[in-house]
Amino acid sequence: MYGNDLSPTASPVTRNDDNLEDDTDFQATIDSAGRIEPRDAMPEAYRNNLIRQIAQHAHSEIIGMQPEGNWISRAPSLKRKAILMAKVQDEAGHGLYLYAAAETLGADRADLLDMLHTGRQKYSSIFNYPTLTWADMGAIGWLVDGAAIVNQVPLCRCSYGPYARAMVRVCKEESFHQRQGFEILHTLSNGTPAQHAMAQDAVDRWWWPSLMMFGPPDEASPNTERSMRWGVKRFSNDELRQRFVDMTVPQAEALGLTLPDPELRWNAESEHWDFGEIDFTELFEVIKGNGPCNAQRMAHRRRAHDEGAWVREAASAYAAKRAADDPVQAVA
């Protein structure tokens, strides 16, 4: 799936990456929309930048299971429960494709998890906000998955093959997630006055954090220039944020809900929606660990990891036994 033709004796990286930082062939391949595959030579900085982004993305998917997982036992009907369980399972799957993609770059999954658990790698700010009502399941699907799609569709054209291919499937699943969130909010918005108020309250709380998901403004984004030159990112943070606003405003109208920004205005000249100033100090505080749920999310993640130790040990023992019994079958 990831184009990783590793035999038991081959290492993931067979070519010499030294001195490739200025390699014109490498940049020429990127510029001609060529794909970089796991066994291709690549500058060490390109490799590290990808590991950084893919690992953070994987961690986000896994930590992102928590806010919605919180509502599985309280879903208002069996149908809603089944849909939410499927969605949360999808997020786990996304995390696994992404860890596998990072492994094709030579990263070790256990190391990546260790970096998450010790705070040396990040995950998306959005998952540090609480899910207070059922309407939050609608707001997360509609806004958070909606933002994720806007961010990730261009990543299907990322220069690194395994990441781009993982994104194709992820985006298909995120589209379903986004629509189920929209449908939850549509039902609530057209329900009783109390249900409508619950939907509006959720949108009020999730709107601004969703805009922050796209990252700092371009002038404060240290990674964008290089990531765009290397074809990892195809658009800047601000470009994608604007695209999300333009897509979402008409959807809010269709839902009969108000986006909590008095400065939202159609700009006939730019043909985009103008929006109010984002409080980026809040984003930086949440990234630093000071959001409403950072401590809770990390404690839960570490506990889940510790409690899963026996599963990892059993899987390793089984794999070792299979390898000893039948070395050819074990690597097939």
| Binding-site ranges for ligand FAQ (CB under 6 A) | 52-53, 56-57, 60-61, 64, 91, 122, 124-125, 140, 144-145, 148, 151, 212-216, 221-224, 227, 233, 237, 287
Q: Which is nearer to ligand FAQ, 84 or 198 (CB)?
A: 84
Q: To the nearest whole angstrom, how small is the minimum distance from the Cβ of residue 144 to ligand FAQ?
A: 5
Give me the residue whose beta carbon is nearest to ligand FAQ. Answer: 64
Q: To the nearest whole angstrom, how small is the minimum distance from the Cβ of residue 23 to ligand FAQ?
A: 22
Q: To the nearest whole angstrom, how small is the minimum distance from the Cβ of residue 116 to ligand FAQ?
A: 12
Q: To the nearest whole angstrom, how small is the minimum distance from the Cβ of residue 223 to ligand FAQ?
A: 3
Q: Which is nearer to ligand FAQ, 277 or 325 (CB)?
A: 277
- 10 Å Cβ neighbour count for 219? 8
Q: To the nearest whole angstrom, how small is the minimum distance from the Cβ of residue 112 to ligand FAQ?
A: 13
Do 17 and 44 form a contact (C-beta atoms < 8 A)? yes
Beta bridge partners of 254: none
Q: Which is nearer to ligand FAQ, 133 or 223 (CB)?
A: 223
Q: Which is nearer to ligand FAQ, 144 or 199 (CB)?
A: 144
Please state, in angstroms and rounded to a whole number, the distance separating the CA atoms of residues 252 and 247: 9
Q: Which is nearer to ligand FAQ, 14 or 89 (CB)?
A: 89
Place of tokens 């950072």: 294
**Alpha-carbon Rg of the chain, whole angstroms?**
21
Q: To the nearest whole angstrom, how small is the minimum distance from the Cβ of residue 8 to ligand FAQ?
A: 32
Do 93 and 122 form a contact (C-beta atoms < 8 A)? no
Q: To the nearest whole angstrom, how small is the minimum distance from the Cβ of residue 304 to ligand FAQ?
A: 15
Do 113 and 302 form a contact (C-beta atoms < 8 A)? no
Q: Which is nearer to ligand FAQ, 163 or 273 (CB)?
A: 163
**CA nearest to 138, candidates 62, 93, 190:** 190
Do 230 and 158 form a contact (C-beta atoms < 8 A)? no
Q: What is the dihedral of CA 132, 143, 71, 296, to 10 degrees?
A: -60
Beta bridge partners of 265: 274
Do 202 and 137 form a contact (C-beta atoms < 8 A)? no
Q: Which is nearer to ligand FAQ, 26 or 127 (CB)?
A: 127
Beta bridge partners of 267: 272
